[in-house]
Amino acid sequence: MSHRTRKAKKEPNPAFAPISAQNFFVQAFQVALPGRNLDCRVYYTPPKFANGTVMVCQHGAGYSGLSFACMAKEITDLSGGECGVLAIDARRHGKTMSTSDQPDEDLSIGVLIDDFVEVVQTIYPDAQASPNLILIGHSMGGSIVTRACAILLDRKYTIGGVAVLDVVEGSAIEALPHMNSLLNARPDGFDSVEEAVEWHLNTKAIRNPTSARISIPAVISPSGNSSPIVPPFIWRTPLRSTAPYWQNWFVGLSHTFLNVRTARLLVLAGTDRLDKELMIGQMQGKFQMIVVPGTGHMLHEDDPTRLAEIMVDFWRRNERLVIGIKKVGEV
């Protein structure tokens, strides 16, 4: 029996009301992938030059492309519009919808990579005329972009770098046995969107009220159930339903990241998270690593200004190279 029966309905607090993403991205549209039975939501700010750079962002499990909204606006401002940002809602997340009449449960890494690559190819059908792409992935999304990089390179897209946000294979796999107890601490749902935003801020899941008010409305949906024990708003992607895929997302990530054929950046919210393979790789100068103090797992939401600075710096170092200077991460 849910604890909801004992709980008085809470009035929405306007301090946590949703904020539209329209001032953070220039466009929001659906990308039809008929071959994959998917209608993908993307948020996009194009670069001001046709041959500019686009940072392609993939979110973590349970979140949506809007978790990059604040960072995206800062990247556009900091780069004077030279860098565009494209943020994608993954399958079963945000406003991406299945067009199949079959159950759309499969979130295994291969499916997610193929979705990601297909979105990029649909938006930029001509690899030669495509902008330079920098792939940015948070948590589960880090695993997707790292593995998608090789496919896009083989298809002749120019990839200026891969940036992975707060995920390390070793610690991700070590954390898996503890995930169920963490999920048990999450409510089944909420009385209002405002309550969902407030819960994320109170638990410090997200530490930035503006970002939470933009991103959290996309991670819940109306339950459409009038029963008193079913909350009016429930999780759009119940994380427990993704449990069969957790191992699959992260196994082999360190090796893939260290061997990707472009510049590599790892941004962490804490210092104690490198596994042995990454430690050796870091000593060999195979990637750039930056730790952002004062942030939690949602570091790009907690401190979007700092993350934007890091990303624009990564772009400057790797896109606008003086001939003869090695890229970061190139041995």
CA–CA separation, 212 vs 199, rounded Å? 10
Q: What are phi and psi of 150, to 5 degrees?
A: -60, -40
Q: Indicate which residue of 64, 139, 143, 192 is catalytic.
A: 139
DSSP summary character for residue 50: T
Joined together, the tokens standing for residue 307 give 């993350």
Q: How far is CA 302 from CA 51, 92, 120, in A?
A: 31, 24, 27
Task: Classify burial at 193, counting beta carbons within 10 Å of its beta carbon; exposed 0-12, middle 13-18, buried 19 or more.
Answer: buried
Q: Indicate which residue of 166, 191, 302, 303 is catalytic.
A: 166
Joined together, the tokens standing for residue 283 give 């000593």
Q: State the DSSP string of 164-210.
A: EES--HHHHHHHGGGHHHHHHTS-SEESSHHHHHHHHHHTTSS--HH
Sign of the Cα torsion 156, 162, 164, 169 reads positive
SS3 state at 248: helix
Q: Indicate which residue of 297, 300, 302, 303 is catalytic.
A: 297
Task: Classify burial at 230, counting beta carbons within 10 Å of its beta carbon; exposed 0-12, middle 13-18, buried 19 or more.
Answer: middle
SS3 state at 328: coil
SS3 state at 150: helix
SS3 state at 98: strand
Alpha helices, DSSP H, located in the chain: 69-78, 109-123, 140-154, 169-175, 179-184, 193-202, 209-215, 246-250, 253-259, 276-283, 299-302, 304-319
- Can 139 be counted among the known catalytic residues? yes
Burial pattern 164-188, b for ≥16 Cβ within 10 A else e, equals bbbbbbbbbbeeeeeeeeeeeeebe
- Can 166 be counted among the known catalytic residues? yes
- Can 143 be counted among the known catalytic residues? no
Active centre residues (catalytic):
139, 166, 297
